Amino acid sequence: MRYQPLPASFYQKTRANFMAQMEGNSLAVFNSNDIYPVSADSTLPFEQHRDIFYLSGVDQEESILVLFPNAVEAKHREVLFLRETNEHIAVWEGAKLTKAQATALTGIKTVYWLSDFKRVFQELATHCDTFYFNTNEHYRQAVETETREDRFIAACKKEYPAHRVAKSNPILQQLRSVKAQEEIAQIQMACDITEKGFRRLLSFVKPGVWEYEIEAELAHEFIRHRSKGFAYTPIIAAGNNANVLHYTENNCQCKAGDLLLMDVAAEYGNYASDLTRTIPVSGTFTPRQRAVYEAILRVKKAATKLLVPGTLWKEYHVEVGRIMTSELLGLGLLDKVDVKNEDPQSPAYKRYFMHGTSHHMGLDTHDYGLLHLPMEANMVFTVEPGIYIPEEGFGVRLEDDVVVQAQGEPLNLMDNIPIEVEEIEDLMNA
């Protein structure tokens, strides 16, 4: 693998934490993702399902993890099934994990080949009362494709209709939302790689450069530092393109006087980072651009301070809305009448700042986290306010990744990435 894996002890701990919350005499199953087809014999690059990765560290297709704390035989309390490797596979695809390698990576002592799954699972199923199925219940999910997990659940319900069913996702939503120090270190590594890419751009961006050329520079820098590449589809938006929140065409030329909004970040070891910076294509902000930029920076700094243990998600966003409203009044984008007559369900500031300020991040860019629960220490959040002004031809968004601390202000994992106006201008004109 390209990245340095976490120690087996980390995965032993995640499994123990999950099993501690399972009902008595129950069994949980986690499947790898499919390899998805494009056309003919082409496929998309494999991406491991983050849940089986979180519980095992296995980054290989056609893998299955079974957890059965009350198994009759102790060896079946944690079981891993892998695609069998052989010389033919080694020649055509590269060798897969051996059983010994899998045990060293995961800490799981019982490893079977996938061809044994039906036989072993049938034996285990007769000894349990409840199956924990791993459904996708993320608040942003909108998946239409039938997954490997979906097919397994359907087949299992058909073959074992008398078993009770429970959900793995609520347990994982809580466990994955609070990061271990090992995970924070992986996210920090992703942030550090992102920093290298961003600094590379500050001497590259100039009038006449194309958005896709900037994307290529970032991909080069990320990959050469052991990342697979972008943690999510990059947004590189010059001028008015920045007012399209999920602009990903990246096919326009940067012009003199434009602002360039870049929502781009690297992954490392399947952990994401998430950065947004807005820079002047010509190397210097105009007075108006600077005023909007510095307003956003003040909102970001104020919002960051609110991310402390006990903060409630809805209350946090209401308070950020108040801060943003004040800045928009100062910029002349709103007036007191707009605020006085606003609909509480659609505040006036939403005209210029229409998305949320923060989301959980980690193994997924929009990571697990139950939004009705108070924030806790070691949760990792983005902070990403923005102001979008189509009538003026530009938008500004700034974003860092921060860790909630037990005491004091959050730890900014992107603190070394330039963000102040003077530093950006100095580096671009060096």
Q: Which of 399, 400, 401, 425 is catalytic?
A: 399
Contact predicate 398/386, CB 8 Å: yes
Q: Which one of the listed residues 59, 263, 364, 400 is annotated catalytic?
A: 263
Residue 78 lies in a domain: yes
Structure confidence at residue 290 as a pLDDT band (50, 70, 90) = very high
Q: pLDDT for 134-151, tens place per residue?
A: 999 999 988 889 999 999
The one catalytic residue in 246, 343, 372, 422 is: 246
Catalytic status, residue 359: yes
pLDDT at residue 92 is higher than 90: no
Q: Among residues 130, 151, 177, which one ends one of the domains?
A: 177
CB 79 within 8 A of CB 91: no
pLDDT at 317: 96
CATH of the domain at 16: 3.40.350.10
Residue 78's identity, in one-letter code, is E
User: By the 8 A CB rule, do 398 and 278 touch?
Assistant: yes
Asked whether residue 118 falls in the same domain as residue 21, the answer is yes
- Residues 167 and 271 both lie in one domain: no
Q: What is the pLDDT of residue 89?
A: 85
Structure confidence by residue, pLDDT tens digits, 162-177: 999 999 999 999 999 9
366 is catalytic: yes
DSSP state, 140? Answer: T
Residue 119 has pLDDT above 90, yes or no: yes
Q: How many domains does the chain divide into?
A: 2
Catalytic residue among 397, 400, 401, 425: 397
Judged against a pLDDT cut of 90, whether residue 324 lies above it is answered with yes
Mean pLDDT of 56-77: 97
For residue 98, is pLDDT > 90? yes
Q: Which of 124, 148, 177 is the last residue of a domain?
A: 177
Return the structure tokens found at 154. Answer: 């359907």
- Cα separation of 394 and 255, whole Å? 12
Q: For residue 231, what pLDDT is reported?
A: 98
Q: pLDDT confidence of 94, banded at 50, 70, 90?
A: confident
Q: For residue 274, indicate whether it is catalytic.
A: yes
The reply to whether 399 belongs to the active site is yes
Provide the pLDDT for residue 46.
Answer: 95
Query: Which one of the listed residues 176, 388, 400, 401 is annotated catalytic?
Result: 388
102 & 188 share domain: no
397 assigned to active site: yes
Average pLDDT over residues 114-131: 97
Contact yes or no for 401/384 (Cβ under 8 A): no
For residue 87, what pLDDT band results from cuts at 50, 70 and 90?
Answer: confident
Q: Are 96 and 89 in contact (CB under 8 A)?
A: yes
> Which of 148, 177, 206 is at the close of a domain?
177
pLDDT at 142: 87
405 vs 273, 376, 377, CA distance in Å?
A: 18, 8, 5
Place of tokens 């997924």: 364
Please check the confidence at residue 252 and state whether its pLDDT lies above 90: yes
Provide CB contacts within 8 A for 39, sequence distance 6+. none
Mean pLDDT, residues 33-40:
94
Computed over every residue of the chain, the mean pLDDT equals 97
Could you say which of 2, 151, 220, 355 is catalytic? 355
> What are the angstrom distances between the C-alpha of 91 and each of 60, 85, 98, 204, 357?
17, 11, 15, 41, 48
- Asked if 152 and 111 sit in the same domain, the reply is yes
Q: What is the pLDDT of residue 90?
A: 83
Q: Cα 132 to the chain's mean position, in Å?
A: 24
Q: Which of 298, 366, 376, 392 is catalytic?
A: 366
Is residue 317 annotated as part of the catalytic site, yes or no? no
335 is catalytic: no
Host H or E run for residue 112: strand 110-113
Catalytic position from the list 78, 274, 400, 425: 274
Catalytic residue among 183, 384, 401, 425: 384
- Whether residues 94 and 222 share a domain: the answer is no
pLDDT at 88 over 90: no
Which of helix, strand or coil describes residue 189?
helix
Q: What is the CATH number of the domain that holds 221?
A: 3.90.230.10
Structural domain for 37, as ranges: 8-177
Same domain for 188 and 162?
Answer: no
Element (H, E) at 338: helix 336-340
Report pLDDT for 114: 97
Question: Does the annotation count 384 as an active-site position?
Answer: yes
In angstroms, the CA 318 to CA 333 distance is: 19
Dihedral angle, C-alpha 98, 103, 105, 107, nearest 10 °: 170
Q: Is 246 known to be catalytic?
A: yes
Q: Which sign does the torsion angle of CA 346, 347, 348, 354 carry?
A: negative
Note if 388 is an active site residue: yes
Q: Which two tokens stand for residue 53?
A: 């990765």
51 closest CA partner among 360, 364, 382: 364
pLDDT at 93: 86
Say yes or no: 52 and 137 in one domain.
yes
